[in-house]
Structure 1
Amino acid sequence: MYSKWDKWLFRQVDNSALVLFRIFFGFLLACEAFGHIALGAVDKHFLQPKFTFTFIGFEFLEPLPAPLMYGLFIIMGIAGLLVMVGFKYRTAMIFYAIAWTYVYLLQKTSYNNHYYLLMLLNYIMIFLPAHRSVSLDAKWNPRIRKEHMSRWIYLFIIAFLFIVYSYASVAKFYPDWIDTSFPKHLMKIRAGDWTILQQEWAHWAIMIYGLSYDILIVPLLLWKRTRMVAVIASFFFHIFNSIIFKIGIFPYLALAFLVFFFNPKTIQKRFLKKKSFYEGDDIIVPSFKKPLIIATTSFLILMILLPLRHWVIKDDVLWTEEGHRLSWRMMLRNRRGFTTYYVENKKTGARKAINYKDYLTTKQSYSVQTKPDFMWQFAQKLKEFHAIEGEDVAVYIDAKVSINGRPLQQFTDKEVDVAAQEWNHWSHHEWILPSSLYENKE
């Protein structure tokens, strides 16, 4: 006999939502890859810089030569199209996942949360049976064709979305968002031409809508009575973000997830009319049940724990940035800085200021003036470059940083040789001076 959990997790349901999501997802993967080429991102982010700022710990990654770098993105785009039509699905999905992980870790100067989300989804989709129906794989190999899937897939995806959205909302419960000073600042720098968005009522509307949407959207979508209202709210929210913030495929990827909240029969009738609908009620418990439950549960627990790590790191994450990434902290801050790097010959004591333009692109220069992990990495690079010339140097950073339009505040201890410091992902770095954010608020 089946246990209660077996009946709940492994009861078979129609797979129309997953199949339709695969089609949307593959199309968006192709758009992301081809868009990098068409919009010049491959050249700007990987080929123009003298070096890229990788995620710390992945400094061994290097950009490919230009023809191969373009070739990689072309093949990624083709892989996305193969995912969309369901041809060699898992091979295409594995390739895209590995290739995207490479380009994601290779450079973080141009960083969006959707890059991280995309990497996670790539690996998740490898293991989901999204190619079993309405696909070339199923057409040419009828043995794999199925119109159903286990219910746990629905539960897993919805739980993952709830975690992402919930943390996006919780992160907004801080003074700059609640008192609308950050929405006001954000609209000024990102939507300056939109007069309507410079009004005080608009800032309050953005504050309330942004905070409440993220925390309520999944529950509202799950309840049939509020589902259509939630769908309309989702389209407004994500299209607004797409127009104002120009964040690539992320808003449309978020909208694609809506398919998991509708009755599968509705999805099949509206979008997949030629697909057979599964009317059965079978329970199929896989032989790998225990590893499956352990893997999915461990992943969700990790997603819950990672965004909490900044609470065990000294000072305010808004100031230090320590624990900011991989935490769904979206649209929360704007950083501005005025920073000078000095290299000092340890033997002679001669000190000189560094000209960023000798080493960095404009966008890289912005990051090394405002973000501590970039500061640390650039200090290491400066030490390496001077070592090649036979000079052993210390690197001192005099950084003043403004958060959300506040006056500039001293960010670094300018008497510390940052090139001699270690980087730790899980603890505070004492060369970052304490914040007094809310004492200096205008």
Structure 2
Amino acid sequence: MINRWLFTHIDNSSLIIFRVFFGFLIAAEAIGAIFTGWVKRTLIEPEFTFNFIGFDFLQPLPGNGMYFYFAIMGIFGLLVMAGYKYRWSMIGYTLMWAGVYFMQKSSYNNHYYLLLLLCIIMSILPAGNYFSIDVKQNSKLKKISMPRWIVLAIIAQLWIVYTYASVAKLYPDWLDFTVAKNLMAGRAYYPIVGPILQGHWAHVSVAYFGILFDLLIIPLLLWKRTRFAAFCFSIFFHLFNSIVFQIGIFPYLSLAFTVFFFSKEKIHRVFMKKKVFYDKNEIIVPSYKKVLIPLSIVWFVIQIALPLRHWTIPGDVLWTEEGHRLSWRMMLRGRSGITNFYLIDNKDPKAKKEYINKQQYLSKKQIRSVNTKPDFMWQFAQYLKKKYAEEGKDISVYVKSSVSVNGKKRKKFIDPEVDLANVPWNYFKTNPWILKYDSE
């Protein structure tokens, strides 16, 4: 049964055409980051970056080095699209994207995380075995089929993402349209559509269509009777997101994934008429079976478990932010806050408090995160401690912070009596200096 489900060979046109789309999109992501100024704003102009905690060794290259870094990534993407040295090109892009992803989180986006996962998956798949320069140079690499597990794995990964994205929206601020209203308010200046998006009907539509689309799109694409209608809804949904929320390549990447849902015959007929269609349905058990199955189990257990981890941490994740990342909690909240840092010289306890001018160290975007997110506050305190240590000073860093979530009344967020420069960061349990939401 397992062999039949996983290792029956099917036509590989969907994987090949997806590789072409994917290569183009990841190249566009890298090159676009240069020309839109993202690289400059995020990695060159700031004095330092807020990396994922534990990845302090990942720092931007000096000078204009990050421009070259992203240019090389763009080249890797084009090589993936063309199928030249496919495996190495895909691995190269994956490693470089992982570096960027863990190097900074001021511009954190769930889609960046999804792209990392997809890059890892694509590095493994035999997507360069047709319609590629590699095959032209070595005809022995040419294949017209692939094992079914490839399609099943991709669909399973997408199902996890969309399902968690839907379930995460089932909370009061989303269901009473508070989040949708706030999201649309930030787009009021858009020409033509901006004023339209301010209507209550638009808020209701965004809230409930978002839940239903994420929950049902995979099943509807899998069912032949609803597939075409679901595809049409996907086009509307993702183009809407692209225009209104401007979230880069993700909407187009999501549309590219639909090639794995349509019938093999249709994808072959539409995209690869000249290719021989494979329909033998042979069961070919590969030598890597003993490795593939346990690794796949580990991979998907992690994918299912990570978004649930915030349930093991006391407190509301919307308030504490602990367990928020890597959990497909997309556009669920808006945060604002007022946060002040002050120092005390441990060698001179009678000295006056020294308040920190955040603009002296941080970009505007970094300040917005430092004002509202506890890990940024902790990291900034660590940075200040290190900075002053270079001047021979031993300091303590305290924070006075109040935060608002989704426009609600601001509440005290951080215990002002705790020296953030001299406490550890807890990865898998709550950090006690984050105050409970009802704290006054």
Q: TM-score, normalised to structure 2's length?
A: 0.97
Residues 162, 226 of structure 1: alpha-carbon distance in 2 compared, 3 angstrom cutoff: same
- For residues 243-299 of structure 1, give each alpha carbon's deviation from its aligned partner in whole angstroms, at most 9, with x where no partner exists: 111111111111111110001111111112222211212111011201101111211
CA distance in 2, matches of 1:66, 1:45: 13
Question: Which structure 1 residue ranges, 4+ long, deviate > 3 Å from structure 2?
Answer: 190-193
The Cα RMSD (Å) is: 1.2
After TM superposition, list the pairs within 5 Å mapping 1:58-73 onto structure 2. 58-73=55-70
In structure 1, the residue matched to 2:279 is: 279
In structure 1, the residue matched to 2:420 is: 418
Give the C-alpha shift of residue 191 in structure 1.
Answer: 4.0
1:270 aligns with 2:267: no
Q: Which runs of 5+ in 1 are unaligned?
A: none
In structure 1, the residue matched to 2:318 is: 318
User: Helix, strand or coil for the counterpart of 1:384?
Assistant: helix
Question: Which of these residues, 145, 159, 162, is aligned with residue 162 of structure 1?
Answer: 159
1:390 aligns with 2:392: yes
CA distance in 2, matches of 1:370, 1:192: 25
Residues 191, 301 of structure 1: alpha-carbon distance in 2 compared, 3 angstrom cutoff: farther
Supply the AA of the counterpart residue of 1:200: H
- For residues 134-165 of structure 1, give each alpha carbon's deviation from its aligned partner in whole angstroms, at most 9, with x where no partner exists: 11111221111111000111111111110000
Give the C-alpha shift of residue 192 in structure 1.
Answer: 4.7
Instruction: Check the 8 A contact 1:342/1:354 in 2, yes or no.
Output: yes
In structure 2, the residue matched to 1:259 is: 259
After TM superposition, list the pairs within 5 Å mapping 1:121-270 onto structure 2. 121-193=118-190, 194-270=194-270
Instruction: Check the 8 A contact 2:221/2:227 in 1, yes or no.
Output: yes
Give the C-alpha shift of residue 324 in structure 1.
Answer: 0.3
CA distance in 2, matches of 1:9, 1:290: 13
CA distance in 2, matches of 1:343, 1:359: 15
Question: Which of these residues, 97, 104, 109, is aligned with residue 100 of structure 1?
Answer: 97
User: Helix, strand or coil for the counterpart of 2:404?
Assistant: strand
After TM superposition, list the pairs within 5 Å mapping 1:34-113 onto structure 2. 34-113=31-110
Most deviating of 122-131 and 191-200: 191-200
Instruction: Check the 8 A contact 1:50/1:360 in 2, yes or no.
Output: yes
Supply the AA of the counterpart residue of 1:405: G
**Identity %, equivalent residues:** 55
CA distance in 2, matches of 1:131, 1:362: 43
In structure 2, the residue matched to 1:369 is: 371
- For residues 22-78 of structure 1, give each alpha carbon's deviation from its aligned partner in whole angstroms, at most 9, with x where no partner exists: 000000010011011111111111111111110000011121123432112111111
Instruction: Check the 8 A contact 2:414/2:433 in 1, yes or no.
Output: yes
User: Helix, strand or coil for the counterpart of 1:398?
Assistant: strand
In structure 2, the residue matched to 1:33 is: 30
User: Helix, strand or coil for the counterpart of 2:52?
Assistant: coil
Give the C-alpha shift of residue 190 in structure 1.
Answer: 3.4
Q: Which runs of 5+ in 2 are unaligned?
A: none
CA distance in 1, matches of 2:161, 2:416: 37
CA distance in 1, matches of 2:355, 2:421: 15
Supply the AA of the counterpart residue of 2:199: Q
Instruction: Check the 8 A contact 2:44/2:64 in 1, yes or no.
Output: no
1:15 aligns with 2:12: yes
1:5 aligns with 2:2: yes
User: Helix, strand or coil for the counterpart of 1:343?
Assistant: strand
In structure 1, the residue matched to 2:338 is: 338
- For residues 103-125 of structure 1, give each alpha carbon's deviation from its aligned partner in whole angstroms, at most 9, with x where no partner exists: 11111111111111111111110
User: Helix, strand or coil for the counterpart of 2:287?
Assistant: coil
Supply the AA of the counterpart residue of 1:253: L
1:117 aligns with 2:119: no
User: Helix, strand or coil for the counterpart of 1:111?
Assistant: coil
Most deviating of 302-311 and 410-419: 410-419
CA distance in 2, matches of 1:388, 1:72: 30
User: Helix, strand or coil for the counterpart of 2:371?
Assistant: helix
Residues 192, 185 of structure 1: alpha-carbon distance in 2 compared, 3 angstrom cutoff: farther
Supply the AA of the counterpart residue of 1:97: T
Instruction: Check the 8 A contact 1:191/1:244 in 2, yes or no.
Output: no
Supply the AA of the counterpart residue of 1:394: S
Instruction: Check the 8 A contact 1:192/1:198 in 2, yes or no.
Output: no
Supply the AA of the counterpart residue of 1:381: Y
User: Helix, strand or coil for the counterpart of 2:354?
Assistant: strand
Q: TM-score, normalised to structure 1's length?
A: 0.97
CA distance in 2, matches of 1:273, 1:34: 31
Supply the AA of the counterpart residue of 1:361: S
- For residues 291-313 of structure 1, give each alpha carbon's deviation from its aligned partner in whole angstroms, at most 9, with x where no partner exists: 10111121111100000000000
Supply the AA of the counterpart residue of 2:168: A
Supply the AA of the counterpart residue of 1:132: N
User: Helix, strand or coil for the counterpart of 2:197?
Assistant: helix
Give the C-alpha shift of residue 345 in structure 1.
Answer: 0.9
- For residues 163-211 of structure 1, give each alpha carbon's deviation from its aligned partner in whole angstroms, at most 9, with x where no partner exists: 0000000100110001111111111123454111111111111111000
Residues 191, 244 of structure 1: alpha-carbon distance in 2 compared, 3 angstrom cutoff: farther
User: Helix, strand or coil for the counterpart of 1:190?
Assistant: coil
CA distance in 1, matches of 2:211, 2:114: 20
Supply the AA of the counterpart residue of 2:40: D
Supply the AA of the counterpart residue of 1:410: K
